[in-house]
Structure formats: structure tokens, C-alpha cells
Chains A and B, each alone.
Chain A
């Protein structure tokens, strides 16, 4: 996993609640046997018409919005456990997803792929949406070390929680599997008494 460092960029707003992973990446694109290229089909049926032309009114197709942060309504990533959803968002170029509330499996999948899920209060989430509405190029700073998100123009800040173990993993680019592999003796000892 690549290391997560502090980022400062503009953001793309998707002000919708209960966005499920079938919308993030429809099942017909899960046939690949590698992790690459899913970004092309991120939000496929919201981004493209059936004839593959762009749906102009979808936010990802609006050139006014760019940046490495995706800001979304609550309960983002509900439904299917497909990790392809996290791969698609990351592959598209996002490094952070901000919401007031993530579905559990999606949050784990994001963390396992260096995609930082930042949970803020509903009030602060609304402030972020408003900041983008007022200025499409509004810049936000995400500081993982200090667990802080800042609306740069107004210097309004909010802190966010992250499990200290996961924070260490993200800052250093460690994968869970390396930690688990280092535990093999302990696992074998557990199996004997289990």
C-alpha cells in the first residue's frame, strides 16, 4: 500500500445519501481478475448513458469540480462487500472520501487500499458542501498525522477519528497481511488450544 501523507486539494461533491456499492461499480464490471482499471467504470451508470455518451449533469462529468477528495452523503458504500468499489474510487484518483457515516465493510476496504475515509459531523459535512457550492475550487487540507480536516479558505477545522493501528498502517504504507503473517507462531499456538 502506498503511504498516505497530508494532502491539500479541491473536492468533488456527491451530495446523496445511501450510495450503494452497486452504483459505485456495477456487478457487470466485477469480472476482472486483477485490481487495475476499475476507475474507468466508477459510477458507470450515473456517469454514462447506455450508448456510452457522458451524462452531462453528473458531478464527475462537471469540469468545474476536480480534486482528490470525494465528499458524499451519509451511509456511503452500503450493500455489497465488493472491494472493487474502493479500488474504483482510488483508481479514479481520489485519496480521501469524506462523509458523516460510512458502511462498515466499505470503510474497511477503503482503509486496506490507502483510501482514507474521513468521518465528520453532519454539520461539518454540510459546511464542506456549502464551501464547494460557494467556490467550486475550494481547497481542503487533510492532515492524517493530526487527524484534522480544514476548509482552507475559512480555516475552519474538524478533527476525525481513526483507529491508531490503522493510522500507523496508512502513514507507513503497511498492509494488514504483513502484520498477520508476523503473528504465525501465535496463531498456531491459538489453534492448539482452540
Chain B
């Protein structure tokens, strides 16, 4: 029978199917961080059990860390305790920790791929919904809750009901100033914030195939924003080239590639749901509301519908129905998060701001996704380009994506952000988030206003 890529990987990881129930799925790699694990380790300790396969778990500190002066003790007591608890738990259970000060520290969904831990054909979970990022490599990767983190630590398995399958095809050539962030914001705006719920999504089509690995990660990362459990892209030569020299994937590389080449959806495989989009229809995107599906092409205006959710969102954002966003004054720009904090994002941002000055009314936070990204950015002189433009490169972490650490956007302020969620208060109590690509963020940083980046290119 013809099967999908998702079926092939999922079915190869079923340890046991429970009659009329979920399946016991084997997890190859487990990423953990400080926020969603302390209660899981406490659960193990209370039962007197040790982590079953510590070598298959990798830890980092990212959500709750400062992005300046990282080597000094964390000022906030609860944050410090949470990070210290992770260190203690990793020590007690022999888990590799890339914590603060380690050359591999960074956002969990940035370090997994850049270290070659993320590989095609494997199953990956993490107590974080953006675990879907790793699907860009042809892996099944999804976010889980803390009880499930405890299950994986204890047994390397998880109980899951197999999701339905969706394929989203994007064909054609992307226009000027259009990035993979715009592709995914466009798709979510079409499918809605719940259109993918119950599904696992495969992204296909010529526009997806043409993307780099980092661009593909941005797409898979935001699968959860339409409700999908995860996104997956079949591995190809671009995937193999990315993994060739990575720390944990370089060994026996040819052998691995032979196996990875089998990982694709059969031609006549059937999906429960399928969408087709034309890349030429996509423009630079921006969100105007309080969920990621509330997005428009930059040349469009805010919808004019009678909808309670829209009205509540516009009240929060202080926008009007039918309004254009172009020219709206903003206060902050945030380049970072597991969606857009990799080298290509920094390069793209710097390509636009090089030799220019940021607008005076804007505070700009540039947060690399990992220590390795930070190091490479400095090696390429991007820190200097940023400095000359009146901006600074901070240290790695989730930063202003989630209003948890020190980096919060103040109430009422507008932030053009390359992150993934524009929920009420997501970037800080009362903060107003406008999601966009690194290029659109650069345009806003230069002009101090929401700007169609194509007018600056």
C-alpha cells in the first residue's frame, strides 16, 4: 500500500498498539529545557526511578535566561532556581547539558539541528510546542506536556493517537522580499489557527523544495500555529549537505544518506486533507491581531468582518477594521526566537541595514539562536554592521518571544517581531506584537514604521 513519509516513520516507531487506544511510540531523541521539566524530574525522583536512556536526552537552558551578561548569576530568584534545578537534575541523571556558558548553548530548536542531533527518519519530542521545527529534516517531531516528558525520561516512549495526514503544496517562484516566514504566515492566514488541529502536515511543492534548511525550519516551526501537531519535509540533497559536517551526523555519513534517501511519500499515497498554494500569490506578510492567523499581505488592509474575535483583537491592538498597517509607528523590533534566529536570518537582516542607521524611535533587540550562531555572526562581522546601525547583538535565548525572562516589551508598545506568536501579552503584559519576517523587521528598524520592505530593496 502506498504510504506517506509520516506513516513510514511513525509505523517504524510503534512499540505496541493498544486496542481502541493510543499507540506506544518510541522516541529516538528528547530535548529538554528548564521550564517544562522540573516537575517531570520530581515525578521520577518521587517514584525512585532513573532516566531510562540518558544518552538520548539533551538539555539546554533557553526560555528563562537573560540575553545580556549571561555568565553572571541570574538576578531573578525564581528564574535562577529553575536553571539551577535543571543543572542538578541533569547531573543526577547523567544527561548532557549545554547550559549557560557552554559553546553549544542556545534555543533548543536551534541547537538540535546545528549539532546534527536532528536527523531524518527519527522521532523527536520536547516539552515545547515548537518542536515541530525539527520536521524540516524529515523527522517526526512534536511538542509534549510535562507528564509526557516524565514518561519519555522514564521509558523513552510516549502514548499517542496517530494524527491524520495533511499535505500543503506550495509551487512556483517566490517574489522579491518574500521569505519562508511569509510563506508560513500566508498559509496560516488561509487555513486558520485551528485548521491543522488533529493533523500532521507534510510540506511539499517546488517552492518548499527550493528553500534552504534554515528556511524550511521556519516553516515547520510554525505548524503548531495552525493547530497541527507537527510539520515534515522530505529530506533531499539540501538536507544531506546541511548535515554532512555536523557534530553528531558526520560519522558514517554515506551509510546514513543511503537510508535517508528512502524517506519520501509514495506517489499515490493519500492524505486526509490537501491544500495547494501558488508562491506567486505570496507577499511580505504582517499580522494585525492576537493570533498568528490574523495576518495580511503588507499591501492589504485589516479585514472588515463582523467577528467578536476580530473586534476583541483590534481593541487590544488599537487598530481599526479596514486600516492599512503601512506607515504605523512602532516602538520595538525583535529579531530572534526559534522561528528566526539563525545565521540566514541575521544575514538577511544585516543585508538591509548595512551602512544605514536605525530609526531613533525604535529599540532593537537582536538575539542569536545559539552560541554557535553568535560566534559565526561575529566571525562574519555582523556584530559590527549592527553596531554601526545603532543596534547590538545580544546573547542566545528565547528572549522577547515569550515574556518570561528579562526581555519584555512594555504595555501598549508595538513590536515588529520575527517570533511565532502574537497572543495578548505574549511578549509582556499589554505588549502588542506584529509578526513578520527578518526582512520586514529590518525595514521597520530603519524607518521606525511598518514598511513594505520591497520599497527599500
Using a CB–CB cutoff of 8 Å, the interface residues on chain A facing chain B are: 16-18, 20, 22-23, 26-28, 30-35, 45, 50, 74-75, 78-84, 86, 101, 103-105, 108-109, 112-113, 163-166, 175-177, 179-181, 183-184, 186-187, 190-191, 194
Contact = CB atoms under 8 A, between A and B. Distances in A.
A18 B145 contact: no
A35 B24 CA distance: 26
Given A18-B194, A180-B24, A81 B155 contact: no
B148 A108 contact: yes
B143 A22 contact: no
A100 to B, nearest CB: 11
Contacts of B257: none
Contacts of A112: 145, 147-148
Contacts of B158: 180
30 contacts: A18-B193, A20-B421, A26-B403, A27-B404, A27-B426, A28-B404, A30-B35, A31-B35, A31-B78, A33-B38, A33-B39, A33-B82, A45-B429, A75-B227, A78-B194, A78-B291, A79-B423, A81-B144, A81-B145, A83-B39, A104-B197, A104-B198, A104-B227, A166-B22, A177-B155, A180-B154, A183-B24, A186-B15, A187-B15, A187-B52
Would you call the interface of chain B mostly helix, strand, loop, or mixed? loop
B238 interface: no
Given A31-B79, A33-B81, A80-B129, A22 B291 contact: no
A31 B82 contact: yes
B420 to A, nearest CB: 9
Interface residues of B, number: 69
B315 to A, nearest CB: 13
Contact of A81 (B42, B127, B156): B127
Given A16-B309, A33-B85, 5 more contacts: A26-B429, A50-B430, A75-B197, A112-B145, A177-B47
B122 to A, nearest CB: 10
Given A27-B403, A184-B155, A105 B129 contact: yes
Contacts of A104: 163, 197-198, 227, 229
B71 interface: no
Nearest to A108: B145
B128 A164 contact: no
Given A33-B85, A180-B157, A78 B64 contact: no
Contacts of A82: 35-36, 145
A81 B64 contact: no
A75 to B, nearest CB: 4
A34 B39 contact: yes
B147 A45 contact: no
A87 B197 CA distance: 22
Interface in B228-281: 229
A14 B241 CA distance: 50
Given A17-B309, A33-B42, A180-B157, A83 B22 contact: no
B77 to A, nearest CB: 9
Contacts of B193: 18, 75, 78
Contacts of B43: 177
Contact of A181 (B35, B76, B155): B155
Nearest to A109: B145
A158 B168 CA distance: 35
